[in-house]
Structure 1
C-alpha cells in the first residue's frame, strides 16, 4: 500500500494519497495518533491532508473491514538559510548563486521576489540556483520552498547594467599614469576597470562617475571597459596611448 508523498511539513497541510485495495468507505486515516482530513476516497485510494507532527510516524487507514498496517511518513521541518555566495547581480539574471543553510535537501523552488527558479540540490546544507531576471533594480527577498515548508530572510539586490558616457581625457602616454574620469550610470558597484584589457586602479565617486589611473600600454587606441555586479560596459577605442618623442 504505497503512500505519496511520504514526507511533508511538520506544520501539516500536505496532500497525501494512499493507494491499495479495499479502501472504500474509509472512516479514519491516522498519522501516528493524529487524525488526518479525508478529502477523497475510492476503493483503491484515499487522499488526505496531513496533520501536524514530528519525526517518523506510521500512517494507517481504517475502514469497516478493519485497520491497515502502517506506512512510514516523514515529517520535515522548514528550511533555514544562513548565507548567499553572492548578494547582488544583473537585472537580466543568469548568474549562479549558492545558498547555504539546513533542511535544503528537498528544495523545489527558490523565489527572488516574485520570480521563481528551480534549484540544484547539492546536499542538505547547500543548493545552487540560477537567478531569474528581475522586474526592477533593487533588493528583493529570497524564499526557499521545501517539503518542510518555506523560509525567507535573505535579500538579493538586482543591479542595472552599467553604461559609459564619456572618458576624459581621451589620451595619455604609453607609460601610463594618466588620471582619467569615466562618467556614465550604474557605476556604484564597479568591480574592475580595464584599458585595452589591462586592469587599472580605480575609485568610485558616485553612481555616475569614477576615476581611474591608466596602466602602461602600447601606442594606439584601446577599449575602456567597466565591470560591475550588474554587468559590463565597453567604450570602444575611448582612450589612445601616445608614444613619447624619440631623438
Structure 2
C-alpha cells in the first residue's frame, strides 16, 4: 500500500472520529477531544502534505470551510495545505463562525490556539507587524492581515485580572477570541455547562461567563488599557 493511500486514510479516520463524537458526546468532553483531534490532524497534514492528491486537498478545504489558519505570507496562492512550510511561523487555528457586535466582548473558543483581538485600543503594549508579513488565511481562500501583536489586560467579573500575552491584532476578525488551549497550558480548567462556563485552577475560581446566541462570552468587568504599568502588580494569571 502506498504512502499516499495510508496518509489519506489516516486523515479521513481522524475527521470521521471527530464528526462521529459530535453525535453522542456531551459538550464539555467533545470540545476537549475535538480540539485534540484537530491539532493532531493539522500537525499530521503539515508532515505528509506532499503525499496528498490535489483532489483530496480540495475536499479537506471544503470540510473545514468554517476554520482558518494564520501564517507568514510566503505565497498566498498555494494550496492551503502547502501554505505552512517548516520555515513558516504557524500562528493559530481558530473558529471563524463566531460573531458578536460588541468589540469589548471576548468569545471563549476551544479551537483557538492564540488569543485574537480586533480592537487596537485594548492593547497595553503593542508591536507592529510589517504589512503582509503575517496573514490570517481563511478556508474560503480569503486572507486578512495581522496588524500587530501585544499584551491585553482583562479584569474579570470574578475580581481576577488576566494578562494575555502575544495577542494577535486582526481588525477584520468578527470577534475577539479567547483561547481555551492557552488557558490549559497554565493549568486553568474550563468547564462548560448549557448556558454558562467556569474557569478554575487548583479548585480555585478564576473566572466565568455566559452563553449568548450559542457563543460562550467571557465575564469581563473592564479592559485595562489606560496605563499598563499600574496594573501589572494586580495580575493574577498570565496567559501566554
Q: Normalized against structure 2, the TM-score is what? A: 0.23
Computing the radius of gyration from Cα coordinates, the structure with the larger value is 1
TM-score normalised by L of structure 1: 0.23
Higher relative contact order (CA 8 A, sep 6+): 2
Higher strand share: 1
Structure with the largest fraction of helix: 2
